[in-house]
Amino acid sequence: MILCHLTSPTIDRYLSVVKTPRTLIESLSETLSEQFSKLTPDEQFLDKFQENFRRMTRRFDTPGPEVRVCETFEIEGVEVRLFVPFGPLPTVGPTIIYAHGGGFVSCDTHTHEGIIRRLANASFCRVLAVEYRLAPKHPFPAAPDDVETVLHWALDARGESRGIDGNKLVVAGDSAGGNIAAWLAQKYRNRIKAQVLFYPLMQLVDVKPANPGPQDWLQIGTVALKYIQDHYVAGADAKDTKVSPLFEDDLDGMPPAYVLTCGLDPLRDEGKLYAEKLKASGTTVVQLYEKTMPHGFLNFAKAFPRANTVPMEAADFVRAQFPILPQVKKARP
């Protein structure tokens, strides 16, 4: 979400932030902060915001692998896209419910299709991706409510005709979508088999990292998170675990978790803290730390080759939860 604010030249600077002189970064920070201060939640801005992200993904991402089926339909008024990969899938089998990132105010399953296709292809799982409503037109709790509606549908075995086993579900998401997936895993811990959290946004009380580093000099994360506070949280209780899953203290019986955090990510500390809390509760956690990666890198496979392989590694984790699935697979190109 944070990278999608920027123009292409600014992206190039951001990607080399650790090699950039501090004086230049501070100057750029002032310019960006001034620009962000003028942002308003009108449709024109959001349309431009979305198109900027699409342009960046077209430039820096590679097409995801082919899938056998990609179909769009509605579940109780919520649009979803079902991705069915190639391979020896069971007639009714494990399915990943996926919530895309975008700070609750932008993006969709199309901007995140590369991630979704890689995860589906490598896991041998169907992926049901949710087009949840976005703020500011639809502030909290619209987004988590929409994803919960889809999860309910799957849990109630209403997706069997589409190959979805309601007893073998995984919740997953990146950034804001990781926030939703974490909350759903907490609420439905006895029915969810696993959770996959890519650089999750775990709280919306504090917008600045507790331990700022050179990667925070641009202050892009601070401004973006403040925007989300104003237009997504929009006066709701930010300490509510439905907004900030990090604050859930009862984590007994949580499903196994795969948690990705990044060194150049303003959200790195909260993602790491949540993984540690899960471990302390006795939850099985696979924790991946990408020291040189920024927030949102999974959308930019041309710039970051690890964006191709991280979803495959997460898929290994998912397959390990379901013996019914092939445990060794050569990923399709």
What CATH number is associated with residue 256? 3.40.50.1820
Residue 327: inside a domain, yes or no? no
pLDDT at 2: 47
Residue 331: inside a domain, yes or no? no
Backbone angles phi, psi at 233, to 5 degrees: -65, -45
Q: How far separated are the first and last CA of the chain, in Å rounded?
A: 26
Whether residue 175 lies in the annotated active site: yes
Contact 33, 219 (CB under 8 A): yes
pLDDT at 131: 98
In the chain, how many domains are there?
Answer: 1
Residue 145: inside a domain, yes or no? yes
Residue 251, SS3 per DSSP: coil
129 - beta bridge partners? 81, 98
pLDDT at 325: 78
Residue 258: inside a domain, yes or no? yes
pLDDT at 324: 75
- CA 328 to chain centroid: 25
pLDDT at 37: 56
Residue 328: inside a domain, yes or no? no
pLDDT in tens, the chain (333 residues): 444 444 444 445 444 444 444 454 445 445 545 555 555 556 666 677 677 777 777 777 777 899 999 999 999 999 999 999 998 899 999 999 999 999 999 899 999 999 999 999 999 999 999 999 999 999 999 999 999 999 999 999 999 999 999 999 999 999 999 999 999 999 999 999 999 999 999 999 988 776 766 556 445 577 788 889 999 999 999 999 999 999 999 999 999 999 999 998 999 999 999 999 999 999 999 999 999 998 999 999 988 999 999 999 999 999 999 987 776 544 444
78-84 vs 69-75, strand pairing mode: antiparallel
Residue 23: inside a domain, yes or no? yes
How far is the C-alpha of 130 from the C-alpha of 144, rounded, in Å?
10
Residue 43, SS3 per DSSP: helix
Q: How many CB atoms lie within 10 A of CB 110?
A: 15
Residue 82: inside a domain, yes or no? yes
Residue 17: inside a domain, yes or no? yes
pLDDT at 216: 60
pTM: 0.86
pLDDT at 60: 76
| Structural domain boundaries, residue 78 | 3-320
Please tell me which residue in 29, 123, 175, 244 is annotated as part of the active site: 175
Angle between helices 220-228 and 22-37 (to 10 degrees): 20
pLDDT at 43: 63
Residue whose entry in the numeric block shows the structure tokens 């998170």 = 225
